[in-house]
Structure 1
Amino acid sequence: MSALRALRQLTASSSRSLAARAAPRAVTRSALAARVAPVSASRAFSVSARRLGEGASDAALSQRLAEELKYEKEATPAEEPEFLTTFKKNSPWTIQDTPGMDEVALVRKFGNEEIRLIFSIADIQNEQEPEFEEGEEGVEDGAEDAEASLPPYPLRCSFSFTKPSTPGALTIDAMCQDGTFVIDNISYYSDAKVGTDLTVEADWKRRGYYLGPQFDTLDISLQDEFDKFLAERGIDSTLAFWVPQYAEYKEQKEYVSWLKNVRDFVDA
């Protein structure tokens, strides 16, 4: 179990309404049914089942996967998106993204600090249309445009801060939504490896540590100073808008790869 997923069971224990607003991710994509025409029985049985495996349904499944893969490839830009190119060129953060994994890390140096941000694409939800009560009008055009540019889901994030001059580590758990990082709590570990390692052993040790108070229970002036501390290190609204953009970009790439891998397996 990864550190990001296991850290304090964030979505289960957090009292924040942001996490509560995230709807469960749909298991299937409704768009697939609308885009792909039904495969007729005659086409399904016109191909020998043993040519694609041992099941009579293999040919139909392979065809559906191929159609969805073709659609998604056509909808995916071949070139790197501008937001990503600009980020790589101008940002002090370095992206660590392993294909096939659902977590992404951003790392940077700030003075004598090593800073790491981890977020997961597993929180991405299908976008839902806003619901209005009977007789209620929608928001104004300007506000509607602004809302449309924001993702409808929060993303769980974990920050870690380490220094070579001290054995400890500071970690922050937050939710990224609406162009801001909403801090849940700030923890301190006397052993940096316990606080930052992405191993089962380190995760098990973390469960016995005091995790710090809920951030919103701290004195307001102390919260303000922590906000300044993060902003000075580039953990600000600019980064909070970028993270969901990259999460959606990676999720699309992983979905296309998943379609290809599954189809190749069915066809083998």
Structure 2
Amino acid sequence: MSAIRVLRQLSTVSPRAVVSRSTSLGVRARLASVQVSSRAFSVSARSFGQGTADVSLSNKLLEEMKYEKESMADSAKEPEFLQEFKAQGRWQIEDTPFNDEVTLTRKFGNENLRITFSIVDIRGEQEDFDNEAASEETDGDGSQEEEVLNTYPIRASLTVTKSSTPGSLAIDMMCQEGQFVVDNITYYKQGSLATDLTAEADWKRRGIYMGPQFDTLDIGLQEDFDKFLQERGIDQSLALFIPDFAEHKEQGEYVRWLEGVKGFIDA
């Protein structure tokens, strides 16, 4: 048994022992025993934080953190899919630790392209897909399960701005199964509204026509928009990369979360 657990047991047993002995002692002895037990409790509280569950919680966090780090150590520090993506030199990744969102940027002619997606979608979808995969057992090597687990739908937003005009386009899409499914395309006369995250900009966006549902457009128009996106690198390879990177980032953020929470509990 660890020294910490022994000390915790002593701190909880000693008050009962003192009380039992105090029945045969005088008033001065009872007061002295109460003072000794109070000091013992205060020392343990300072050692373990302000609650009795702190040590157990800290140990569990440490176990989980070790497990996750060992799992991450089994693969390369930077996954192969990420190395290949960077080697293409097409998109720049803006990934800030402790943030949910990831941004990909690139230039195309006189256009500035910016794709933003969040790892939040993985949190809710991963459990649903895991349950679905478990219920759809297949014979053989379980290829169907692998296919299901790798198709997390992730929302993505593309903004297109030009240096030659103040306007901009904002395109809301869903990334799933190696393709982008466009929801709607919004045109802003004031280009900054597409990227500005202030409360004022958000208020202005609420009154702007967001555009029709993409799938209600003429088929020929839909096809031309698809070609427009393909030329700018909004293609299958990017649609496959985003879920992989989102899962990779979520894993790293989870470990950072464990470290942060444990450090706070232990302080």
TM range (shorter): 0.7 to 0.9
Is 1:147 the counterpart of 2:147 in the alignment?
A: yes
Is 1:65 the counterpart of 2:28 in the alignment?
A: no
Deviation at 1:201, TM superposition (A): 2.1
Pick the structure with greater CA Rg: 2
| 44 and 170 in structure 1: CA distance in 2 versus 1, 3 angstrom threshold | farther
Identity %: 56
Please give the root-mean-square deviation of Cα atoms over the aligned residues, in Å. 2.5
| 149 and 67 in structure 1: CA distance in 2 versus 1, 3 angstrom threshold | closer
CA contact (8 A) 1:132 1:138 kept: no
CA contact (8 A) 2:138 2:145 kept: no
| 140 and 158 in structure 1: CA distance in 2 versus 1, 3 angstrom threshold | farther
Structure 1: unaligned runs, 5 residues or longer: 1-41
Is 1:251 the counterpart of 2:250 in the alignment?
A: yes
| 259 and 146 in structure 1: CA distance in 2 versus 1, 3 angstrom threshold | closer
Higher relative contact order structure (alpha carbons within 8 Å, sequence separation ≥ 6): 1
Q: How does 1:140-179 map to 2 (within 5 A)?
A: 144=144, 147-148=147-148, 150-151=150-151, 153-179=152-178
Which has more helix, going by share of residues?
Answer: 2
Runs of 4+ in 1 over 4 A off after TM superposition: 136-143
CA contact (8 A) 1:118 1:159 kept: yes
How many angstroms apart in 1 are the aligned matches of 2:66 and 2:95? 25
TM-score, length-scaled by structure 2: 0.77
SS at match of 2:78: coil
Deviation at 1:145, TM superposition (A): 7.0
SS at match of 2:221: helix
Q: How does 1:1-268 map to 2 (within 5 A)?
A: 45=8, 48-77=44-73, 79-124=77-122, 125-126=126-127, 127-130=129-132, 138=138, 144=144, 147-148=147-148, 150-151=150-151, 153-268=152-267
How many angstroms apart in 2 are the aligned matches of 1:185 and 1:174? 7
1:105-139, Cα deviation, whole Å (9 max, x unpaired):
00000000000000000000334143699xx9848
Is the deviation greater in 228-237 or in 119-128?
119-128
Deviation at 1:60, TM superposition (A): 0.6
1:223-247, Cα deviation, whole Å (9 max, x unpaired):
0000000001110111000000000
AA of the residue aligned to 2:210: L
Structure 2: unaligned runs, 5 residues or longer: 12-43
Deviation at 1:103, TM superposition (A): 0.3
How many angstroms apart in 2 are the aligned matches of 1:218 and 1:45? 69
AA of the residue aligned to 1:155: I
CA contact (8 A) 1:169 1:196 kept: no
How many angstroms apart in 2 are the aligned matches of 1:43 and 1:162? 65
CA contact (8 A) 1:58 1:266 kept: yes
Deviation at 1:195, TM superposition (A): 1.6
1:51-94, Cα deviation, whole Å (9 max, x unpaired):
13111111011000000000001011361111111111114100
SS at match of 1:226: helix
How many angstroms apart in 2 are the aligned matches of 1:44 and 1:238? 58
How many angstroms apart in 1 are the aligned matches of 2:265 and 2:142? 48
CA contact (8 A) 1:116 1:161 kept: yes
How many angstroms apart in 2 are the aligned matches of 1:237 and 1:145? 21
